[in-house]
Amino acid sequence: MIRRLEESSGNLLGWEVTGNVTEEEVQTLSEEFKAAIAEHGKVRVLVRMRRLPRMELGAWVEDFKLTPYAKDVERYAIVSDSNLFEWTSKIAEAFIGGEVRRFEDSRYEEAWRWVRS
For 1-18, what is each residue's pLDDT tens digit?
A: 999 999 999 999 999 999
Contact 59, 26 (CB under 8 A): yes
Q: Where are the domains of the chain?
A: 2-116
Q: Is the pLDDT of residue 93 over 90?
A: no
Concatenate the DSSP letters of all residues of 7-37 into one string.
T-BTTEEEEEE-SEE-HHHHHHHHHHHHHHH
Mean pLDDT of all residues belonging to the chain: 92
CATH 1.20.1460 matches 2-116: no
Q: pLDDT at residue 74 above 90?
A: yes
Give the residue-averaged pLDDT of 37-64.
93
